[in-house]
Amino acid sequence: MTAPAVLLVSPGVLRAADLDFGLPHLVSLGGYLRQQLRVRVEIVDLCWEGGDPEHLSRVLTGLGPFQVVGLSCYSSFDLLRCLAVGRFLKRLFPGVTLVAGGYHASALPDDLLFDGSPFDAVIAGEGERPFARLVETVLGGGRPDPRPPRDLPEHLDDLPPYDWSLLDRYWPRAHELGRKLQVYLSRGCPYHCTFCMERAKSGYAWRAFSPARAVDELVRLSKFTDLGRWVVNLADPLFGWQRAWRREVLEGILRAGLAPRQFWTLTRADDLQSEDVELLARARFSIGIGLESGSPTMLGIMQKGNTPEKYLAALERLMDESRRFGLNWAANIIVGHPGETPETMVETRDFLRRLYSRAAETSGWLSVDPFRLYPGALVHEQMAEWSQRYGTRFHHPTWWKSWYDGAFRAQHVDPSASLSYEARVRFMYDTYGPLVRDIAARFRGQGRSVDRVFERSVAEQVDLLSPQQRDVHLSRAAAARGPSETDAALGLAFPLGLNLRDPRTQAREAAVRRLLEAGVLRSAVVVEALLAVNPADTLKDDDVALLLGERPATPGMLGPEGPVPRVLPVRIVALALEALGLTAGDRAVDLAASTGYVAALMRHLVGPSGEVVVTSGDPTRPRGLTGLFDGLFLGGAVPAFPAGLTGLLQPEGGRAVTFIGPRFRPQDMVCLTRRATGAGTEAGGAEPGALGGLQERLLAVVAVPALRGVAGWLRTPPAGP
């Protein structure tokens, strides 16, 4: 029998673009467990498992058994996804101890540890030591502390080397899975930037491997893979804070002959001298600089340094030195930080125009981001103070508790009393769109194949700052509603994002998240059915696009009058399934369905112990049906509910969903529930909204084609031309 083990899971992301390969945080955690406890450790990245939940269940069961499972809630965008994955894991391994960690877990542990949560413990901060103690407690038969105290390793050299063999299941496909290879050489950041959540996990102490150990880690990594094929992302929060450390590491890389396609890392410009720029260029580095603003006022508000003028002068110096030594770099700015005004935005614009026009060519480019509210950042912890001081308005102060459109909600902020979200958006896109296009035209690379990587990054900025993207954000703001904070209680136990390379799967999941956000979906079983059943198995591509809302629906597009429509928008389908309330073992009927998609959803809901029947012929008077049904779906418009269908429903609680109303105008989508005789719903004693033993509930007003049948709108075939 396989020895009990620890499973470490990365939940993946909902967007497949520009992913890194490596998971160094989990590799470090797993290596520490192996060293300290001699346990078997498995790492699973849900970005790359593919398939479906049944396939994933087989994979995880084959890797087990497990006594402890750790799930990385790395960012706030992952929260609801992590809760869903956690419930999935708990259902698969009922007796396992399930633990969450990561940035969001460190900032807001109560979001993951609450009554009804699948998690047994949450680890805040860096996890090696507290997680090892927790695992040791569980293996010894004890009950772990649900909130272990923080314990950051002061000396990173005390940690074991990265054990990249933990990713053996992924190394054969590594180059298919990520564009960059990720590793950390240091942790923490000593600066107090107001917008950053790094402080929630690692605090303000910068700690690094010794220079020799840092270089050795890269040498060891080169033995697992050919670095010449990779852009190696040194994903440290702040690379090389200590000048002596930085120079010794760069010189060590050169001595070791490490030559990846490119190193990429984040650092600051205010401590870079000519020697540093030359070393970075020789060691095949490109660097990202968190400029954040060109306004001295905003730099002070953001706590980006005590002397903003010197900070900005360092960027001008870097612009000149980088051309001299051939160093490629990118400056990032944040537009719309709380406290931003029209005047400070103009200051930043003018600085950047001067910066990037210092020469006919540039080896740097510009990355432009809106301010985003992140838990654990100083802004998040002091929202009331920012609102009082600057008039900032946070439209979605708990956006991470909403299933849909987190990327928009995180940035939907009025920065100050004099600057609205809409004004910020217009300025950002109308100002920086032309500037990044000008930079793209004058950008100079290194004359190597890696230039394609830089050019792609520059082109992505051009696309992100297009007028079309501006209009998307403005329309979202116009349609935005208040934050939804009920989704976490839904209890979804279906892992999203297992087919990130399949655009149809992504579209289906996005549609489901929109319905969750709108409150249409309220039952976890219906959500799981919509996610599990692939409409492409029963529908043509055009019909799938119509189903998922990728093109608007009109009655004519749903199909001709007469037959049951071949497809209905997913919102209508979801409303129908929620109203029918089918459960395992139920009997259901889909009357004269033309494609079988709704029937497939019903089969998922009723399970192998239930039954779903699909009829043909006249949907208003089906033939050959025997027995009683718990649910009935009639997918087109009728003048009134056909009387002959009532007897097909269970006498107490049988439900039917259909569309009742006029032929050429929107109809009432209704749920009709049958009540037994004597329940006060029969003719002569009917309750309001009851139709002769059927209690009616309005679900929506929609427009669908009229049905042909004995009790339909079209009782005879239409005349020929």
Q: Where are the domains of the chain?
A: 5-156, 179-263, 558-702
pLDDT tens for each residue of 110-141: 999 999 999 999 999 999 999 999 999 999 99
pLDDT tens for each residue of 318-336: 999 999 999 999 999 999 9
Does 492 or 242 have the greater pLDDT score? Answer: 242
pLDDT tens for each residue of 431-464: 999 999 999 999 988 888 888 888 888 888 999 9
356-386 residues labelled b (16+ CB within 10 A) or e (exposed): beeeeebbbbbbbebbbbbbbbbbbeebeeb
Residue 690 has pLDDT above 50, yes or no: no
pLDDT tens for each residue of 664-683: 899 999 999 998 764 444 33
Q: How many CB atoms lie within 10 A of CB 699?
A: 17
Mean pLDDT for all residues in the chain: 90
At 224, is the secondary structure helix, strand, or coil?
A: helix
Angle 570-580/524-532 helices, nearest 10 degrees? 140
> What mean pLDDT comes out for the span 546-558?
77
pLDDT tens for each residue of 22-81: 999 999 999 999 999 999 999 999 888 867 788 899 999 999 899 999 999 988 998 998
Cα 313 to chain centroid, rounded: 38
Q: What is the pLDDT of residue 684?
A: 30
Residue pair 622/592 in contact by the 8 Å Cβ criterion: yes
pLDDT tens for each residue of 334-353: 999 999 999 999 999 999 99
Angle 421-442/342-356 helices, nearest 10 degrees? 0
Bridge partners, residue 665, by sequence: none
Residues in CB range of 655: below 8 A, 6 or more apart = 579, 580, 581, 630, 631, 632, 649, 671, 672, 673, 674
Say how far apart CA 136 and CA 144 lie, in whole Å.
9
Residue 4 has pLDDT above 80, yes or no: no
At 289, is the secondary structure helix, strand, or coil?
A: strand
Cα 165 to chain centroid, rounded: 28
Angle at 19 between CA 15 and CA 21, to 5 degrees: 140
Q: Phi and psi dihedrals of 670, rounded to 5?
A: -125, 155
Q: Are strands 631-638 and 611-614 parallel, antiparallel or unpaired?
A: unpaired
pLDDT tens for each residue of 470-523: 999 999 899 886 554 444 456 788 887 777 667 788 888 889 988 988 889 989
Say how far apart CA 508 and CA 500 lie, in whole Å.
11
Say how far apart CA 43 and CA 21 lie, in whole Å.
13
Residues in CB range of 517: below 8 A, 6 or more apart = 402, 403, 404, 405, 484, 487
DSSP at 676? -
Residue 688 has pLDDT above 50, yes or no: no
Kindly indicate whether the domain formed by 5-156 is annotated with CATH number 3.30.70.20.
no
Q: How many CB atoms lie within 10 A of CB 227?
A: 21
At 170, is the secondary structure helix, strand, or coil?
A: coil
Residue 658 has pLDDT above 70, yes or no: yes
Bridge partners, residue 568, by sequence: none
Q: What would you measure as the largest C-alpha separation in the chain, in angstroms?
A: 95
pTM for this model (two decimals): 0.88
Q: How many CB atoms lie within 10 A of CB 217?
A: 19
Q: What is the pLDDT of residue 15?
A: 53
Q: What is the pLDDT of residue 75?
A: 87
Quickly name the fold that domain 558-702 has: Rossmann fold (3.40.50)
pLDDT tens for each residue of 198-221: 999 988 999 999 999 999 999 999
φ/ψ bin of 653: left (φ > 0), alpha (ψ from -120 to 50), beta (otherwise): left
Cα 211 to chain centroid, rounded: 36
Say how far apart CA 669 and CA 585 lie, in whole Å.
26
pLDDT tens for each residue of 139-190: 999 999 999 999 999 999 999 999 999 999 999 988 877 789 999 999 999 9
Q: Are strands 262-267 and 587-590 parallel, antiparallel or unpaired?
A: unpaired
Identical fold, 5-156 and 558-702: yes
141 by Cβ neighbours in 10 Å (0-12 / 13-18 / 19+) ranks as exposed
DSSP sequence for 462-482:
HHHTSHHHHHHHHHHHHH--P
Residue pair 628/585 in contact by the 8 Å Cβ criterion: no
Whole-angstrom Cα Rg for the chain: 29
Measured CA to CA in angstroms, residue 25 lies from 120, 211, 274 at distances of 21, 20, 33
